[in-house]
Copies of this chain bind each other. A is one copy, B any other.
Amino acid sequence: MNKTYDAIVIGGGVNGGAIAFNLAKRGMKVLLLEKDRLASKASGAAAGMLAAQAELDGEGAFFQLARISRGMFSNLADELKMNSGIDIELVNKGVLRLSLTDWEQQEHRRIIEVHKQNGELAELLTGEEAREREAALSCEVMGAMYLEKDGQVAAPQLTLGFLRSASALGSEIKEYVEVHSFYFSNGKITGVSTNEGDFMSANVVVTGGAWSEKLLRKTGLQLETYPVKGECFSVLAESPLLTSTIFSHSCYLVPKKGGRIIVGATVIPHTFNQQVTVEGISLLMENAKKLVPSIVQAEWEGAWTGIRPQTADGLPYLGEHPEYKGLFIATGHYRNGILLSPITGEVMADLVEGKTPSIDISAFRVDRSIKKLIQ
């Protein structure tokens, strides 16, 4: 007899964790399956920026999703600490998006207008004002957009916080279990076949990051996603170099606790290769030195990569499989997986429960590209 669960979540990253945690809070008996180690892919590699305004242009459904999700972190931090003892290291000290050219400063003016029309905080700074906030910034910085509400968390801690909290609420979490295929009956999902046997459930959520597409091909669905490698490195500064997160078009610097700074990230599409290259580090170093020259004195700590799932239209997939009832999909978060995890956990739990999510997620439905092809 195979074990039966209220829901099975496939993927031990931040969104899998968020979904399992939300389902567990609603009283469901959840099984989460991870083919490797928990938090071992993009979620463990992320720098943890909550850059709703710095990364996104302030309009449309995607920005709304990001904005709402960003607002959920404060309560979430307490909730995960209480359930798992894990501190997600939420920092609410804003993001400084730098401009090094007139054109970028112009662009910032435009974006700030959009943000203000949407009721969001955004402040234009001159280079000097930026350096007053962050003395380490290069004199080449011409100006900045200060986004007070953006911030950052420790991505591996957030991921483990979700997962361990789900576990504390009774979820079963299995590492090294790979789903090979799905079981269906009458157009409904009934379970999964894995390298450790079969597990049955009428609700299965695929949230396997860049590996989701391969898995879903077994259901006849061809998601329009592709992997994008990102390389990062970290350094240790003796005294804290930065307070806010620094964001530019060429790289970002995220100041962590204890003088640690994460510098990211390269963008190498269409590969699952997890190697850090000399080219990647060299590029990031040169870019970071342009923004924060004194980073050269910091101690080198290490480098790593993450493989992030990007989609053809840049929007994540959040919805049900177009053919099979009970099979849900949450992937394609690209560089925003950490930021979007709280809202992803909530809306996917709504879908599993058969509830209509409180926010409109139709822009993220799974069959959107298929529809485009038809029209």
Contacts and interface: CB of A to CB of B under 8 A. Distances in A.
Interface of A: 84-87, 89, 91, 160, 164, 167-168, 173, 175-178, 180, 195-196, 214, 217, 227, 235, 238-240, 256-259, 270-282, 285-286, 288-289, 295-300, 302-303
A341 B257 CA distance: 21
7 contacts: A85-B91, A168-B239, A278-B288, A278-B298, A278-B300, A280-B300, A285-B285
B278 A296 contact: yes
A375 B298 CA distance: 46
Nearest to A271: B196
A271 B176 CA distance: 9
Given A173-B238, A196-B271, A281 B257 contact: no
Contact of A299 (B89, B91, B275, B286): B275
Query: By CB atoms of chain B within 10 A, which of A177, A214, A273 has the most?
Result: A273
B274 A300 contact: no
Contacts of A297: 277-279
Given A175-B275, A214-B180, A258 B299 contact: no
A281 B258 contact: no
Given A281-B285, A282-B285, A238 B296 contact: no
A178 B323 CA distance: 27
Contact of A273 (B176, B276, B300): B176
A168 B296 contact: no
A296 B281 CA distance: 9
A374 to B, nearest CB: 27
B300 A281 contact: yes
Contact of A289 (B176, B196, B217, B282): B282
A195 B217 CA distance: 12
Contact of A167 (B196, B217, B227, B238): B238
A274 B176 contact: yes
Nearest to A164: B258
Contacts of A270: 196
Given A285-B278, A289-B282, A300-B277, A272 B164 contact: no
Contacts of A302: 302
B196 A257 contact: no
A215 B160 CA distance: 31
Query: By CB atoms of chain B within 10 A, which of A180, A275, A299, A300 has the most?
Result: A300
A233 to B, nearest CB: 9
Nearest to A288: B278
A214 B277 CA distance: 31
Contacts of A288: 278
A355 to B, nearest CB: 28
A277 B299 contact: yes
A240 B83 CA distance: 11
Nearest to A167: B239
Contacts of A168: 239-240
Query: By CB atoms of chain B within 10 A, which of A168, A227, A299 has the most?
Result: A299
Contact of A300 (B177, B257, B303): B303
A259 B167 CA distance: 10
Contacts of A286: 282
Give the 3 A-B residue pairs with the shortest CB-CB distance, closest first: A85-B257, A87-B87, A279-B296
A263 to B, nearest CB: 9
A195 B258 CA distance: 26
Contacts of A217: 180
